[in-house]
Each structure stands twice: as C-alpha cells, then as structure tokens.
C-alpha cells in the first residue's frame, strides 16, 4: 500500500505543474541543454506550446549569446569514413582519451536517422551552415542530397540534380529559413572560359542551371578542404594555380566565379586548408612534412577587399614538442597534415600526426592526443546554432 502511494505521489510530482506560472516554467526550461528541450516537448501539451513558441526560441538564443560562456557548442565531424563518427567538443576540451573507435560516437548525436546511413557505405558530410549539414550518399557522381539537423534529427531529401557530373565542388548556405546548394565541376580543362553552375533554392524547390564566367581555363578544386562561407561568399581552395575560387550566390550570375590570392609566402601545395576562427578568415598549412624542417603556418586575412594576409604563426615542429609528448609520439619520422582550425580559439589547431588526431596550442606549443589510430584527412568543424535550425517542409 505504501509503495502504491509513493508511486502515485511520484507521478503527481512529475505531471502536476499547474501551480507553476508560465513565466517561471519558461525560465526553468531555457536553462536546459537544447538537445533535451526538444525531447521535453512530449511531456505535456503545455510544455509543447511553450517550447514551440517563437518567443521561447528568441529568449533562448539571447540567453546563450549573452551568457558568460565564451562560445557556442561545436563538434569535429568526420566527413568521409566507413562509419559516421563524431568527436564531441566536450571530449576535446577536457582531453578525454578515447580508447576505442566506437567511443568516437557522441551519444544522441549521429546521422543514423538518414535513410542511406543503413547501407554499407555511409553518408558523406559535404558542408555545414547555421546548424545544418549538407550530406550525400557518394563522393563521386553525387545525385542524392540530404539536408539535416543532427541535433533534432530532422532531414529532407532534395530533388536530384539535372545532370550527372563525376566530381563537383559543393557549397551550402542557410540563412533566414532559406537555403541554397551550389555545385559545379571540380576541374575545367578548357577551352571555354565559362562553366555550368547548378543552384538549388528552397524558395523554388528546383535546380537552376546557369552559365557563368570562369577565371581560369584549367582550375582544379581541392576537395579535401571543406568549402568555407565567409563575407557572403563561398570559398574553395584551388590547387593548380594556388588560389582561392570564390562565388557570391547573390551576384554570381553576373560576376561568375572569382579568384582570390593566397599568402605570397605560402609554400604547401597539398597540406593546407581554409577556415574561420572567431569570425576571422584564416589559411592553415604544414610544409616540408617528409624531409627537412617541418613548419606550421597560420595566416589571417586582415583586409578582404585588398586580399591582404598577415602571418600569425610560424612554428618549426622539430623544436616545439614538449618532453611528455615525445614519450609516445616520435617527432621526426611521421607524416603531419592539417585537419581543422578551432572555431572559437585562435591558438588551437588540429593535426594528423603519427597515426593520431592531436590538438596543438600555437601559443603554449603544447600538443595533446585526442585519439589514437587515426588516419582520416577529412574533418569539418561544425558549430551548432544557439537555437536548432528547423528545416521547412518541402513543397516539391
């Protein structure tokens, strides 16, 4: 009898919130992790209405942006692997040693909800924007694209592009509830100085094809470096001419693709990437990794219009490792390659080194192992939006 009364009391405590005014319940709910808030919509009709109200989303975002925390949550995502693996930022920030490959998954955050993830070859992550991911089933001959929010496990499939192309450079922009996907061939061997560019718009629900100007006849896009959206334009590293190819979706049909200069004193042709840290556009490279001195260099774009770069860091690896690291990673005979820039910390970069994923502090010269037995060259720094971006239901 006592046990029955205790269960009834517990149910009453869990369910009866009638004495709590809406303003107080809102104050409580907005202090919960965003991943849990969406689950709590199912608690009651009242909670569903409060959490679904646009006012709640604005209030939550404002609190996050003005809180004492220095940055929004983010993750390192593996773009092309045989398994979908995500390294949570909490694990990186606390330097938790990941002992097994299955421990790389972040509980409650995966891409297993996408239809193609059940197949032998998993989803490929192509780009991110405003808390959403653009994914595809394959790397070559891409035709089935998905846009998803991994936090709330919402997704849609896009219509198939009008033309089959073996290899494409892809861009993705999501803003104000509207999104666009841009794609064009990764290489052009002439003789024409124009190319076919395809754009999908959520406003029309269709792919639009246009012929745009191409700045060089024989460009080649570096596909292992993620596309970067900055200053209203998309940016891809170009390999053959050591440039950046940019495209402005709002004015691209008039201007076409454009070339942007990289730092004059850059050296690496292969081991480099673009990224954004705390709102600054940066270029990151590792030089001479097989023989001779191994330099790590990071530039920041100080003037976008003038294309003026400023060298922030130049570090020779041979003399920078601390003794503790040398106990388990030899410093002289391993391949080193850049993987990602920390989106919130200027001083931290991520490298592949000695079969490990490592974080490296450019200021303190301290290296930490994030994960061993790591050989992927494909990482994406994914920053969550303060409030989960919902995907409008397709009308096509």
Q: Domain tally for the chain?
A: 3
Same domain as 323, residue 175: no
Same domain as 318, residue 367: yes
Same domain as 84, residue 58: no
* Residue 5 maps to a domain: no
Same domain as 341, residue 201: no
The two structure tokens encoding residue 14? 């869990």
* Residue 246 maps to a domain: yes
Same domain as 220, residue 123: yes
* Residue 4 maps to a domain: no
Same domain as 145, residue 291: no
* Residue 143 maps to a domain: yes
Same domain as 213, residue 94: yes
3-state secondary structure the chain: CHHHHHHHHHHHHHHCCCCCCHHHHHHHHCCCCHHHHHHHHHCCHHHHHHHHCHHHHHHHHHHHHHCCCCCCCEEEEECCCCCCCEEEHHHHHCCCCECCHHHHCECCECCCCCHHHHCCCCCEEEEEECCEEEEECCCCCCCCEEEEECCCCEEEECCCCCCCCCCEEEEEEEECCEEEEEEEECECCCCCCEEEEEEEECCCCEEEEEEEECCCCCCEECCCCCCEEECCEEEEEECCCCEEEEECCCCHHHHCCEEEECCCCCCCCCCEEEEEECCEEEEEEEECCCCCCCEEEEEEEEECCCCEEEEEEEEEHHHCCCHHHHCCCCCCCCCEEEEEECCCCCCEEEEEECCEEEEEECCCCEEEEEECCCCCCCEEEEECCCCCCCCCCCCC
Same domain as 325, residue 250: no
Q: List the chain pLDDT tens, one digit each, 396 residues.
A: 555 555 554 454 455 777 888 888 888 888 887 767 777 888 888 888 888 887 787 777 666 656 545 467 777 887 875 444 455 544 443 322 233 333 233 444 677 788 865 555 667 889 999 989 999 988 899 999 999 988 788 899 999 999 999 999 999 999 988 999 999 999 987 777 889 999 999 999 999 999 999 888 889 998 888 899 999 999 999 988 999 999 999 886 677 899 999 999 998 878 899 999 999 999 999 986 555 567 899 999 999 999 999 999 998 876 555 444 444 454 555 678 899 999 988 999 999 887 788 889 999 888 888 877 776 667 888 887 877 888 988 888
Answer with the one of 66, 93, 125 that is the final residue of a domain. Answer: 66
Same domain as 300, residue 216: no
CA distance 160 to 340: 31
Range of the domain at 48: 22-66
* Residue 17 maps to a domain: no
Instruction: List Cα–Cα distances, 83 to 27, 101, 105, 125, 127, in angstroms.
Output: 39, 10, 10, 12, 18
Task: Give pTM, 2 decimals.
Answer: 0.81
Same domain as 387, residue 350: no
Same domain as 198, residue 274: no
* Residue 3 maps to a domain: no
Same domain as 178, residue 107: yes
């Amino acid at each position: 009898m006592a046990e029955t009364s205790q269960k009834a009391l517990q149910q009453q405590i869990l369910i009866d919130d009638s004495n709590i005014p809406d303003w107080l319940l809102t104050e409580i709910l907005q202090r919960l992790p965003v991943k849990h808030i969406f689950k709590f919509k199912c608690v009651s009709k009242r909670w569903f209405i409060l959490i679904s109200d646009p006012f709640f989303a604005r209030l939550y975002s404002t609190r996050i942006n003005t809180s004492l925390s220095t940055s929004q949550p983010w993750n390192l995502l593996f773009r092309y692997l045989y398994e979908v693996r995500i390294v949570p930022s909490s694990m990186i920030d606390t330097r938790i040693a990941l002992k097994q490959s299955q421990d790389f998954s972040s509980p409650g955050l995966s891409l297993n909800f996408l239809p193609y993830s059940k197949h032998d070859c998993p989803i490929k992550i192509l780009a991110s924007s405003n808390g959403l991911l653009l994914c595809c089933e394959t790397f070559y001959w891409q035709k089935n694209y998905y846009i998803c929010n991994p936090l709330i496990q919402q997704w849609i499939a896009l219509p198939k592009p009008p033309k089959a192309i073996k290899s494409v450079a892809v861009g993705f922009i999501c803003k104000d509830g509207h999104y666009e996907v841009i794609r064009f061939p990764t290489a052009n061997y002439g003789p024409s100085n124009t190319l076919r560019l395809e754009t999908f718009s959520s406003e029309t629900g269709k792919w639009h094809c246009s012929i745009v100007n191409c700045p060089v006849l024989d460009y080649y896009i570096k596909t292992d470096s993620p596309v970067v959206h900055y200053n209203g334009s998309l940016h891809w590293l170009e390999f053959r001419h050591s440039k950046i190819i940019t495209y402005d979706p709002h004015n691209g049909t008039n201007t076409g693709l454009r070339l942007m200069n990289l730092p004059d004193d850059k050296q690496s042709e292969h081991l480099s990437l673009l990224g954004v840290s705390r709102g600054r556009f940066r270029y990151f490279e590792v030089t001479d990794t097989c023989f001779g001195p191994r330099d790590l260099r990071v530039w920041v774009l100080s003037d976008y219009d003038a294309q003026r770069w400023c060298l922030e860091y130049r570090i020779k690896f041979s003399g920078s490792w601390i003794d503790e690291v040398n106990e388990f990673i030899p410093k002289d005979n391993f391949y080193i390659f850049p993987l990602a820039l920390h989106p919130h910390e200027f001083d931290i970069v991520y490298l592949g080194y000695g079969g490990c994923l490592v974080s490296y502090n450019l200021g303190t010269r301290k290296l930490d192992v994030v994960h061993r037995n790591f050989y992927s060259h494909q990482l994406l720094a994914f920053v969550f939006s303060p409030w989960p971006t919902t995907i409008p239901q397709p009308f096509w």
